[in-house]
Amino acid sequence: MPVEVEVKIKVDDFEEIEFKLLDSGALLEEIVMQRDHYFQHPSRDFNETDEALRIREDGDRFYLTYKGPKFDPRSKTRIELNTEITSIKNITHTLEQLGFQEVGIVPKERKIYLYNELQFCLDNVESVGLYVEVEKTIEDKSNYEIELEFIFKTIKEMGLNPENNERKSYLELFLEKTKIKKK
């Protein structure tokens, strides 16, 4: 199953990291507005299982994503399954009919840079702040440690501190900031 190897770092601004990325030859892939709709399972508490189910509005594209529990204590590395969908309305109604409840919507502006086979996502998350996510999707978890060490090495080269790694999801951070509790 596909695994997303990911490290997320809180930053004060994007100026230095953007300069270093561009100076190192990174390519700006896109700038997009995203809205992530998160859902709670009817009989399994995703807070306790460390899973997530979301619908992402990504510009004019839409995705249903399941994220499994994080299995690395230093990162947000986990199984991630993405399926492109054509109708948010239809899939939302389907999930609701199955007992899922929408628990939050997290909007953000995302700039995506490609560098050394890694995605650098510069995220301005509404009500949460500025974060840099560095990630790579791999086929399975057999070599994730190698990819994770490469991400940490690259983060340091870009002037970011891996010790500032944030393992909470944007939904968790959003709910903390807005004082809304997940059901």
Q: Which of 38, 113, 115, 144 is catalytic?
A: 38
For residue 140, give the nearest of 24, 21, 6, 1 by alpha carbon: 1
pLDDT value of residue 101? 98
Regarding pTM above 0.85, the answer is yes
pLDDT band at 183 (very low <50, low <70, confident <90, very high): very low
pLDDT digits (tens, 9 = 90+) for 151-175: 999 999 999 999 899 999 999 999 9
121 close to 110: Cβ distance less than 8 angstroms: yes
CB half-sphere exposure, 150, CA atoms < 13 A:
13
Name the band, by pLDDT with cuts 50, 70 and 90, for residue 73: very high
Look up 115 and say whether it is catalytic: no
Set out the domains of the chain in order of their start, with CATH numbers. Answer: 3-178 (2.40.320.10)
